[in-house]
Amino acid sequence: MAYKRTELSPEDIDRQLALCERIRAMHGGRQPLAMVDTYGCQQNEADSERIRGYLSKIGCGFTSDETKADIVVINTCAIREHAEMRVLGNVGQLTHTKAKNPDQIIAVCGCMVQQEHMAEKLKKSYPIVDLVFGPHELWRFPELLLTQMTKKQRVFAVDDASGTVYEGIPHARDSKVKAWLSIMYGCNNFCSYCVVPYVRGRERSRRPEEILAEAQQLIAEGYKEITLLGQNVNSYGKDLDQPMDFADLIRAINDIPGEFVIRFMTSHPKDATEKLFQTMAECKKCAHQLHLPVQSGNDRVLKAMNRHYDRAKYLEEVALARRYMPDLVLTTDIIVGFPGETPEEFEDTLSLVEAVRYDSMFTFIFSPRKDTPAASMPDPYTRQEKQVWFDRLLEAANRISAEKHQEYEGKTLRVLVDGLSDGKHGNLSARTDGGRLVHLTGNETLVGQFIDVEITGSNTWALIGRVL
């Protein structure tokens, strides 16, 4: 679809907020309860905070118990078949809660429903679902909900669109310490295995002045960690009237007074620049943390994936980033068993992992996504064969993570205490500058503070620290 950048006007969102007031008045004084269940990535978590923001304006309280909820919103993911199966299973379970409470409103939104076949499936096989809307329609959730409530009929808002940019939707954020900040929406890359560009539309950037205003607001409210979100943050700003690049955006946020840390994800290796690494190194508030998904270590597979870089370029990039930031924490995503990937090609991924030594890795077995090019490529290896490769990769990933974590032991580090935890290693959770998880024991008033800790132990997934 040809893409023209469209910005919604402030009046469009104001109208939605006015509709929230109308819905609030319909409750007649009783506070309804809502439950929002989120699947998928940080983009979806940020979207769920917007949905909860609207629900708060409607006057809802929140519950995590679906049997008590008047409104259930399931925000779905389509990235792999497993994600969709989980969603459909959980939607199916709601048959029981709806049988007990026939007035319960069940809404399903997010990436999964933006696929025509999935919207159809919900329409035909899940009659308990009252409202279905894709990511492009989220901004008008109040209007859709009001239509469903007043007309008492099912509403499906899943038209294909390349997407809009909107400002001013209220957020009900999960944390008081860390905040997601979407800087752009959509994706233009069409990696051959990936559904995201089809369900989230084309890349579009928010204006820098809006992003800076939101960052300033967050810092004024006491947030200490801001994570900039986009499917490929490195192409931020290309579609603006006055183009601005991602490194300049980091610098502008870094210049906002206050003690806070800037993180971001995700960075596509084809677009990562020396300027970005230099800016990360120079900006004191920018974490030395880079999520740089490699997907595969083999050039033929990378080409078939439509990734636009090869192994050599990726390795050069990692070396360059580490030259600027010797303490860089590097993480990645890898797909095992891309169609036609041979055992020898998989060995290239394994050897790349051993060469780079990631701090942590997210590993996935290829899952064919309807209508993506990879779904129709010949795929001769069985699931069982792929599982063997996957297990070997996971063993390497876990071993390297544990070794890297061990190197922290005995060191003193500044961490941000970001929440409570109920694990056996302490009652507080914290993050190092590079984003590694630290378990601590200490006073709950430390939440939201940067403190020094001594690392006393570690495992594959986390560090264990002692408050100094």
Q: In angstroms, what is the minimal distance from the CB of 170 to ligand SF4?
A: 27
Residues near ligand SAH (CB under 6 A): 79-80, 193-194, 196, 231-232, 266, 268, 293, 295, 333, 335, 364, 366-367, 369
Q: In angstroms, what is the minimal distance from the CB of 372 to ligand SAH?
A: 7
String marking each residue 90-119 x if it binds ligand F3S according to CB under 6 A: ---------------------x--------
CA dist 105 and 122 (Å) reads 15
Q: In angstroms, what is the minimal distance from the CB of 412 to ligand F3S?
A: 36
| Bond before 63 cis per omega within 30 degrees | no
CA 421 to chain centre: 21
Q: In angstroms, what is the minimal distance from the CB of 268 to ligand SAH?
A: 5
Q: Say which entry of ligand SAH, ligand F3S, ligand SF4, none residue 367 contacts (CB below 5 to 8 A, set by partner kind).
A: ligand SAH
Grouping H, G, I as helix, E, B as strand and the rest as coil, residue 457 is: strand
DSSP string, 5-43: --B--HHHHHHHHHHHHHHHHHTTTPPPEEEEEE-SSHH
Closest of 203, 111, 131, 210 to residue 164, by C-alpha:
203
Q: Does 158 bind ligand F3S (CB under 6 A)?
A: no
CA dist 143 and 126 (Å) reads 22
CA dist 259 and 73 (Å) reads 35
Q: Does 48 bind ligand F3S (CB under 6 A)?
A: no
Q: Which is nearer to ligand SF4, 191 or 393 (CB)?
A: 191
Cα→Cα distances 20→170, 257, 368, 373, Å: 11, 35, 39, 41
Checking DSSP bridges between strand 184-185 and strand 131-133, what pairing results, if any? unpaired
Judged by CB under 6 A, the stretch of 36-44, 174-182, 215-223, 397-405 that binds ligand F3S is: 36-44
Judged by CB under 6 A, the stretch of 48-56, 59-67, 100-108, 193-201 that binds ligand F3S is: 193-201
Q: Say which entry of ligand F3S, ligand SF4, ligand SAH, none residue 288 contacts (CB below 5 to 8 A, set by partner kind).
A: none
The residue from 196, 325, 400, 437 that contacts ligand F3S (CB under 6 A) is 196
Q: Say which entry of ligand SF4, ligand SAH, ligand F3S, none residue 235 contacts (CB below 5 to 8 A, set by partner kind).
A: none
Contact 119, 132 (CB under 8 A): yes
Q: In angstroms, what is the minimal distance from the CB of 315 to ligand SAH?
A: 17
Residues pairing with 228 in the sheet: 181, 264
Q: In angstroms, what is the minimal distance from the CB of 238 to ligand SF4?
A: 14
CA dist 205 and 38 (Å) reads 24
- The pair of structure tokens assigned to 430 is 């914290």
CA dist 312 and 297 (Å) reads 9
Q: Which is nearer to ligand SAH, 45 or 143 (CB)?
A: 45
Cα→Cα distances 8→1, 11, 102, 154, 240, Å: 19, 8, 36, 26, 15
Q: Which is nearer to ligand SAH, 13 or 195 (CB)?
A: 195
Q: Which is nearer to ligand SAH, 40 or 53 (CB)?
A: 40
The residue from 23, 32, 34, 43 that contacts ligand F3S (CB under 6 A) is 43
Q: Say which entry of ligand F3S, ligand SAH, ligand SF4, none residue 106 contacts (CB below 5 to 8 A, set by partner kind).
A: none
The residue from 20, 35, 51, 79 that contacts ligand F3S (CB under 6 A) is 79
Contact 435, 263 (CB under 8 A): yes
- Which residues have C-beta within 8 Å of that of residue 154, sequence separation ≥ 6? 123, 129, 130, 131, 132, 148
Cα→Cα distances 55→23, 31, 262, 281, Å: 10, 11, 28, 40
Q: In angstroms, what is the minimal distance from the CB of 455 to ligand F3S?
A: 32
Closest of 71, 206, 194 to residue 129, by C-alpha:
71
Q: In angstroms, what is the minimal distance from the CB of 191 to ligand SF4?
A: 3
Q: Which is nearer to ligand F3S, 40 or 442 (CB)?
A: 40
Residues near ligand SF4 (CB under 6 A): 187, 189-191, 194, 196-197, 231-232, 268
Closest residue to ligand F3S, based on beta-carbon distance: 40
CA dist 461 and 406 (Å) reads 11
Q: Which is nearer to ligand F3S, 134 or 426 (CB)?
A: 134
Q: Which is nearer to ligand F3S, 43 or 279 (CB)?
A: 43
Q: Tokens 């910005």, residue?
A: 7
CA 121 to chain centre: 25
Q: Does 206 bind ligand F3S (CB under 6 A)?
A: no
Q: Say which entry of ligand SF4, ligand F3S, ligand SAH, none residue 246 contacts (CB below 5 to 8 A, set by partner kind).
A: none
Q: Tokens 């809802």, residue?
A: 60
Q: In angstroms, what is the minimal distance from the CB of 267 to ligand SAH?
A: 8
Q: Say which entry of ligand F3S, ligand SAH, ligand SF4, none residue 361 contacts (CB below 5 to 8 A, set by partner kind).
A: none
Q: Does 78 bind ligand F3S (CB under 6 A)?
A: yes
- Residue ranges binding ligand F3S (CB under 6 A): 40-41, 43-44, 77-79, 111, 195-196, 199-200
